[in-house]
A and B are shown apart, each in its own frame.
Chain A
């Protein structure tokens, strides 16, 4: 079956520090992979995605590369800002009918000035 395992938080970093949030997955076939971000009191917003092996998704300074050999999709950012404080969810979507998402448990990030 499909599942996502995500690095547990919470994570606290100083402004301009380097961020890595680990994500590994188990899937049948070749899923699409996503990172979503959730700000306090809000719904999920798509941060970036990758649809096939070796694709790199990027947005707002965040990057993640679809690694089929290690079944991973780690999120990275070179220099975090206070405004990046949020909960980050790794997710996969299978290619079967329905295309439901399977989410990780989320990693809470707090960036302090």
Chain B
């Protein structure tokens, strides 16, 4: 059973471009979480999604950031008009259905904005 997969592992974007980060949860997992890790900081929760639904987006910046988890395919975190402050590692975690599901983390996507 493959783990949580994220791609790309490294992404370089110029200011003003769009960044699209993909996360494929573990097989059988229907819950996806996105976290951001800024340099020298811990992980900060961004958004929690189930298939076709955003459950909790309290950690998402109000502008330029969006997330989806379609019925088919990976979850996508989209950052429009990136700025240097968006440079960070973005981690995805998934868990199976139910309240007690353990979260399993992917290897992360390291976004660099030049």
State the A residues within 8 Å of B (CB).
Answer: 4, 6, 36, 42-46, 89, 93, 95, 97-106
Contact = CB atoms under 8 A, between A and B. Distances in A.
Given A43-B108, A44-B105, A102 B45 contact: yes
Interface string B38-69: 00111111001000000110010000000000
Contacts, number: 52
Contacts of B91: 43-44
A99 B50 CA distance: 12
A99 B101 CA distance: 9
Q: Which 8 A-B pairs have the closest CB atoms?
A: A103-B42, A43-B107, A105-B42, A103-B43, A44-B105, A100-B45, A98-B56, A98-B48
Contacts of B44: 103
A106 B103 contact: no
A46 B55 CA distance: 24
A28 to B, nearest CB: 15
A4 B43 CA distance: 11
B78 to A, nearest CB: 20
Contacts of A36: 105
B39 to A, nearest CB: 11
A20 to B, nearest CB: 19
B56 A100 contact: yes
Contact of A99 (B40, B103, B108): B103
Nearest to B41: A105
Nearest to A32: B100
Contacts of B55: 97-98
B105 A43 contact: yes
Task: With a 10 A CB-CB cut-off, give which of A4, A42, A98, A103 has the most chain B CB atoms.
Answer: A98
